[in-house]
Amino acid sequence: MSDLEQDLKLAFAGAFRAGAVAMASFGEEHVVTEKAPDQPVTPVDLEADRLLREMLTGPRPRYGWLSEEAPDRPDRLSAERVWIVDPIDGTASYIAGRPEFTVSIGLAEGGEAVLGVIHNPATREVFWAVRGDGAYTGTLESDSAPRDPIRLSVSERSTADQTVLLASRSEIAAGEFDPFHGGWRIMPTGSTAYKLALLAAGAGDVFLSRGPKSEWDVCAGSLLVEEAGGRVTDLDGRTLRFNQPDPYVHGILASNGKLHDYVLGVVATLPPPARLRRPTEPGAPEPEEE
């Protein structure tokens, strides 16, 4: 068994256990604090983070660690491989009792995502990919391998007629998608990682966010989309790189590939987005998606 196959087993186990922590109090009232404006965090986020770090770095002490809920450490930059994790992506949805949150586990090597696991514990869905081996979905009911694996493939839609654009509720409310009218269908969905997983599964054609994203939001999901035959870039069409000193992506476009250049062209005509994060603000969090 290769190292990445062993890492995938660790990621499945960690995702299931962290998901179980989340589901133990899903739908209940939560003690909510804010790390920054529009950045809610609950004790469940912190417990899931603690559990994942123990399960993933314990067997892999030489791997770096980058997580939404942990202080950043510069030693990750010299690590050969780095876990890039969001213990609960879509905390706002989790707090609201919507089943649109995920445990997102990515692994980067040499700036590339090489492994990704995204688990929605409310639906028991799990999506995963290892670079070069395709992307898959199944049901995760234990801390071992998923059941009923199916290989993923992005949609084949090549025109904007009835195109499904997966989007956050907060960005829809802010009018970010008002220019996308006519044949576009805007589908509100929580969790950046979940939107990327659904896109990889063909349940949407485009995911666009012009606001800032963290590496832990997009590392696992970007690999899923690519391995399912799609494309993921920043808003200038550049390939994403991971384990960067400033671990943020300043806008993201993911698509089935056929629509990518068209949407990049639309984005180029739009005024600057309302939410921008200056690269001179290391560690400044981005608003939580709804």
CA distance linking residue 171 with residue 180, whole number of Å: 13
What's residue 290's pLDDT?
A: 55
Share of residues in the chain with pLDDT > 90 (%): 81
Closest CA to 204 of 157, 236, 238, 248: 157
Of 285 and 99, the structure prediction assigns the larger pLDDT to 99
Which region among 152-156, 222-226, 268-272 has the lowest average model confidence (pLDDT)? 268-272
Of 21 and 39, the structure prediction assigns the larger pLDDT to 21
Query: Is residue 287 very low, low, confident or very high in pLDDT (cuts 50, 70, 90)?
Result: low
What's the pTM value of the predicted model, to 2 decimals?
A: 0.94
| Cβ atoms of residues 56 and 105 within 8 Å | yes
| Cβ atoms of residues 152 and 159 within 8 Å | no
What's residue 288's pLDDT?
A: 60
